[in-house]
Amino acid sequence: MILARITRAIREQNWFAVALEFIIVIAGVVIGFQVTAWNAERAEMAAETVIIERLHADILNVGDERWDWSADRASTRGLLLSASAKLFGDDLSNLTAGECNAVSQSHVFNSPSLALPILTELESTGDLDLIRSEQIRTAVTANFLANRWAQEIDVAINHEIFNLSARHPDYFRFALPDNPENWNPIFDGSARCDTGGMRNDRRFLNELADNISKSGYFMVAVLQGPNESFASLHEAVDAELELIHETE
């Protein structure tokens, strides 16, 4: 239809009509491209919203167990340091049950993962660019870097560990509780230690020192760094979704 009108206008040398028809054609093409771009942008915005909502759900599902374990590891680290005053320092008193228990589990360097399924999926598909929020993108990058650094440190720490109660059985005794159904001797405080024997065994002390040193790196690189980046990502997602969580 338009082509026929343009042909007729050229034949009649009606250049105004020719120009007008060309303007109409070009305007139609531009409007068509613009509508397509708008639709694509709306689709991307909808996809981004779905991704961010899934990201928030994953964050809520992953966090709690990690925080409990982090608090437990921090407590164990504190007990190890107080035990050090008795085993390496001038305090000649015996280890408490808590300190003995901390020594018996001083080789434990593991933690619940903070990996988020939606981020793993987006990384594998190359769809991370669908997240346009600069705050979330920055937090996601920090989260990836913290987790990968934590993985490297975790591998290095666990390359050689000293399970002291297995390597030095004469210094540990585990008291069986009245109800042993769920007994977990390494973690439930049932360990009892021969403080004097430990204090006079150079090999034992050196291996304990190695575990204590590793526990410091573990707290900072494997727990604290990823925990902080995870919390920052949660804040960025909450801000984008305009969510406010009640704090205890």
d(CA 13, CA 6): 10
* Token pair of 70 as six digits: 């982090």
Mean pLDDT of 129-157: 90
* Token pair of 147 as six digits: 């987790």
* pLDDT attached to residue 170: 96
Determine the distance from the C-alpha atom of residue 60 to the mean position of all C-alpha atoms in its chain, rounded to a whole number: 12
Quick one: pLDDT band at residue 64, thresholds 50, 70, 90? confident
Mean pLDDT of 61-79: 87
Q: What is the DSSP annotation of 137-164?
A: HHHHHHHHHHHHHHHHHHHHHTTS---H
Least confident among 1-15, 50-64, 101-115:
1-15
Quick one: pLDDT band at residue 113, thresholds 50, 70, 90? confident
Read off the pLDDT of residues 194-230 as tens digits, 9 standing for 90 and up: 999 999 999 999 999 999 999 999 999 999 999 999 9
Mean pLDDT of 60-79: 87
Read off the pLDDT of residues 89-111 as tens digits, 9 standing for 90 and up: 999 999 999 999 999 999 999 88
Read off the pLDDT of residues 149-199 as tens digits, 9 standing for 90 and up: 998 999 999 888 899 999 999 999 998 888 888 888 888 888 999 999 999
pTM across the whole model = 0.75
Quick one: pLDDT band at residue 9, thresholds 50, 70, 90? very low
* pLDDT attached to residue 82: 96
* pLDDT attached to residue 184: 86
* pLDDT attached to residue 181: 85
Is pLDDT at 47 greater than 90 in this prediction? Answer: no
Handedness of CA 87, 186, 176, 171 (dihedral sign): negative
Q: What is the DSSP annotation of 63-80?
A: HHHHHHHHHHHHHHHHHH
* pLDDT attached to residue 48: 82
d(CA 112, CA 74): 15
Mean pLDDT of 12-16: 51
